[in-house]
Amino acid sequence: MTVHVLREASADAGLPLVLLHGFPLDHRMWEPVAGRVDGARAVLAVDLPGAGGSTAADPALPEPALEASADAVAHALAAASVDRAVVAGLSMGGYVALALLERHPGLVAGLGLVDTRSTADTDDARANRLRIADEVLASGSVDPVRPMAGMLVGETTRASAPDLVEQIAAWIDGQDPGGVAWSQRAMAARPDRTELLRGFAGPVAVVVGEEDQIAPLEAAEHMVAAAPAAQLVVVPRSGHMSAVEQPDEVAAALSDLAARADSA
Ligand code: MLT
């Protein structure tokens, strides 16, 4: 797994900010935010197992589990000499950030939970993921998940920025079908990590697009109620891809989170 340096740090710049992407995308979805983060801290991102340059075959993936994704992130960061960071994840990236907090707590100085949830899938959602994983493998293509491009964004973006929907579709088209199926199965297997949040005293930013119908405001409020030091940011004119749809607001929220973590 490669650690992509989206922005180099200057000296004494504060904790690095590590960004974990959503499904079925890769680190490129964070580029608009990275350039807008305040200050001079390093902004890093990875392609999670099965996504982008971390294809299903390179290295061969273990049994589908987000715990394996979290361990791979910790390993890659250690190799890049990062042993403490502010970690923010969007949707699937948020699930991985929580797994990272559970398995590598010393690494996580602050937590950004963007358009995500701390709960496990319902039985229906889990069955749907496993069906889509089977379809992707049977077709050998990402066709079964391509329609997600239009569903990930909110109604405002769909109406006013069709180029963003096309950009997301192009990112999806570039994904490896084996990796897409692996990620779906890994997400289906994740547990509820709300209790873990209750025990995390560090700063937390819970960010949600006001038009997000995939991980809506109620899911965000559930996490805010659990985490002792959580702040809620609702992003106007945005759906589930707030980091892509409204990068200014998301960068501001994560800048504030990182400043809180620096001074904690
Ligand atoms: C994502 O954006 O990562 C996905 O919507 C996550 C999911 O399917 O739960």
pTM of the complete model: 0.96
Phi, psi of 205 (to 5 degrees): -115, 125
Q: How far is the CA of 22 from the centre of ligand 1 (A)?
A: 6
Q: How far is the CA of 91 from the centre of ligand 1 (A)?
A: 5
pLDDT over 90 at 264, yes or no: no
- The CB of 92 under 6 Å from ligand 1? The reply is yes
What is the Cα–Cα distance from 2 to 9, expressed in whole angstroms? 18
pLDDT of residue 13: 87
Q: What is the pLDDT of residues 205-251, one digit of tens each?
A: 999 999 999 999 999 999 999 999 999 999 999 999 999 999 999 99
- The CB of 214 under 6 Å from ligand 1? The reply is yes
Q: How far is the CA of 57 from the centre of ligand 1 (A)?
A: 22
Report the nearest atom of ligand 1 relative to the CA of 148. Answer: 5
- The CB of 148 under 6 Å from ligand 1? The reply is no
Q: How far is the CA of 23 from the centre of ligand 1 (A)?
A: 5
